[in-house]
A and B are shown apart, each in its own frame.
Chain A
Amino acid sequence: MKISPLFLKVGLGGAGLWLALWLVLSGCTQAAAPQATDRAALAGKSSIIFSGTVSQLVATSFPDVPKSAQTIVVRVDSVEKKPAAVSLKKGDNVTVEVKDVSAFQEGTHATFYTDGWIFGAGVAVKELGHELGAAVEPAPMTSAGKTSGQSQDQMNDQELLDRMKASDFVVVGRVTDVRPWNVPKRKSGAPSRVSEHDPDWHEAVVEIQSVLKGGKVKGNKVIVRFPSRNDVAWVSSPKFTKNQRAIFCLNRDQSTGAPTTTMGGTQVNAYTCLGHGDALPISEEARVRSLLKNQ
């Protein structure tokens, strides 16, 4: 990737811009400079984005991080994106495991697109990409990545896209009924199982208002099974209430051993909603449509 001066912040003064222009024109840069769309994609994949100045090569910023030829220490100038749980601020030293150490020297300024690695007295990250120069303009991210205090429970764009790709259906709908549902006794006569992880299955009847992925659904209704138990095994699973509106990522039921159910006297597939991001608030509809459209 080549650096583009268009994306360099002029905040450091004209010198930064002129330096970058000189670097580009002279062909001296070894930088990775994504185009705007690439940068947005990179930002979507990154859990931690910050700008900083390389202070040490082949070094680490705190004990217990394995030092290698690929690890450098970067002093943070500004934080563009991070999970809320992570303590990272201007002036902190971060260990970055870079892809190509020859791109950096002590004193190099860059914006680092990274994923978390080791968390101790400080933060260690792995580079996904970087842009040389002073801090870049914030990338045009969608709602999951737009703040520096990203919720611990919020999926980034790539994670959400991956989840939707794995779904049989993505629908906008409203819950019209919720009821307990017992797994039918097995014909083998095998005993029921008691565990602290028992899901306590419930069924939600979801009236479909629009289908974002998948074909037409007969009768515009689906049965969605979900665990109502507040056990650690199901803490990430959405719990539904009557009249709740949401965006549902649905998969055919492969969990309960009873993949079909009866609705209106007809045998139909049952679906499950089990994981993070399987039910999104309606406020996420624009983001979901955008991701599906641009995939």
Chain B
Amino acid sequence: MKAVASSRLRFTASAPSTLFLRALAAFLTMMAGLLVARGQSPAPPSIKVVNLIPASLSGESNQDSEPFLAIQNQNPQVMVASAFTPNPFSMTGNAPVYVSQDGGKTWVLNAITPVQRMTCDITHAMATGENHPRGDLHAGTLACATGITLDESESNDVSVSTTMNVQSTRGNVDQPFVRALGVASGDRIYVGVNDFNQANGRTATIDVSVDGGATYKSIPIETRKTAGQDGPSVRPAVANDGTVYAAFFGWRKFNGKTATSDIVVVRDDAAATGANPFQVLKDPSDKLPGRIIVKGVSIPWSNAPALGQERIGSTLSIAVDPNHSGTVYVSWADKGSKGDIYTLHVRSSTDRGVTWSKTDLPGTTIHNATNVALAVANNGVVGFLYQQLAGGRWVTHLAQSHDGFMTSRDFVLATVRADQPVGQFLPYLGDYDYLLSVGNEFRGVFCANNTPDFANFPQGVTYQRAADFNAKTLNDGSGNPVPISIDPFYFSVPVMP
């Protein structure tokens, strides 16, 4: 990838800076000057990376993996993040979310989801059609008790402690993935799910609500024969004009270790309110709804550590230009080449998904990587968040490009040891992370080893929890040591002009 390395350390953390770090910063600043001299742009200012764990939970050592983020677009100071974070005070209380009301500088934990103690999947979006300044948060959660139950729920105000209102519930589904669009008439909500209740193993499904969640309709989007089911990830994306895309893995064969899968995209031009939703895009090969971007890729399926301590098998993201709904990007991971465990690819379409780039966009074939998340900013710049296992470290990248990755800029947000801490469960970092754009920022969340070490966070970092950056240790706020663990991190990166 033609990338400019990040070039500025910011000392935003609570721990004091050291002479060494100052010297390092000076050196990196000098290097940035050299890069500029060669005609490359310096890193823009005000990149922000924040550890989400609040100061009052400094004693926690949970594996807070699989992060997600929602931004209230009308009031982007308000955000909600989530992770596999248990209720900190009760085995039977509600699972919490993280809430920020100051643009991500500080976060609090508020136990408002309808799930007991901890979700086993959660995504959410904040639509703005109902004029609630700290809402409307629409969440899809899985509760795992005697079975797995999906709740589709809503909060009108995420700052209060009222439990989210469950609007729809059912069992036998997997991996809800929520997107939403606020329009004058209310909120439109799109939840991608792998729905085992669908007939004939055509499980890729979008739950659609065009009335703020009061009613949902489950719409199967798979039209072809499957291997008994589709892959877990079903990802919707919504443009401002109401165009809705969804990407999914059309599993054609599955032997327990490898899925042979098509990468399929569907589209709807009427907010999925018509008689035959998501059937606009047809594939030229069989004239069936669902454009096949790539046919028959091999996707390794491992429900055990395979990429470092992480499992693999269903990595997928789709993003649409919010203002030009004809431009859409898709990324997925598959077996890749020999010697490679898991390889990311990014393809694009500029004609509403009818035709797609035949090969990966330049520099977007990323080896041994996962947790891809794409987003497109208002000016058309695409952001590409991913986590790569390299040299025994998990390296979290945010690349961005305004020209389909002919040129790009890459920021390393975190580079942490991959062998520590030892995983408590799977997923280790998450089956996904997330990226959004608002105004001139890319905002997102990822999970990482929380060792307080400036060298691990090249763009700087702020910890709310008690941390000693000199000793590189955590404590409980009273000086007692706390072991390192996996924490969620929020970031904001300016969109390149």
Contacts and interface: CB of A to CB of B under 8 A. Distances in A.
Interface residues of A, number: 54
Interface stretch (A7-15, A35-43, A205-213, A270-278): A270-278
A87 B57 CA distance: 6
A66 B108 contact: no
Interface residues of B, number: 67
Contacts of A162: 92
B159 A196 contact: no
B36 interface: no
Interface stretch (A22-30, A116-124, A173-181, A260-268): A116-124
Contacts of B93: 115-116
Interface of B is mostly: loop
B275 to A, nearest CB: 28
A229 B106 contact: no
Contacts of B477: 87, 89
Contact of B56 (A47, A88, A234): A88
A156 B254 CA distance: 45
Contact of B478 (A87, A197, A277): A87
Nearest to B227: A191
By CB atoms of chain B within 10 A, which of A119, A122, A276 has the most? A119
B174 A119 contact: no
Interface stretch (B22-30, B142-150, B364-372, B441-449): B142-150
Interface stretch (B4-12, B83-91, B409-417): B83-91
Interface string B80-114: 00001011111111000001011000111111000
Contacts of B232: 195-196
A276 B118 CA distance: 12
B89 A48 contact: yes
Interface of A is mostly: loop
Nearest to B112: A118
Contact of A84 (B59, B86, B101): B59
A137 interface: no
A100 B423 CA distance: 45
B75 to A, nearest CB: 14
Interface of A: 47-48, 63-66, 83-89, 115-123, 126, 152-156, 159, 162, 191-198, 229-236, 251, 254-255, 272, 274-277
24 contacts: A64-B108, A83-B89, A84-B476, A86-B56, A86-B59, A87-B58, A89-B477, A120-B55, A154-B91, A191-B228, A193-B196, A194-B254, A195-B232, A196-B303, A196-B311, A196-B313, A196-B426, A196-B431, A231-B120, A232-B84, A233-B120, A236-B117, A251-B146, A274-B145
Given A193-B228, A197-B148, 10 more contacts: A119-B56, A119-B108, A154-B91, A156-B91, A232-B66, A232-B120, A232-B427, A235-B424, A272-B146, A276-B117
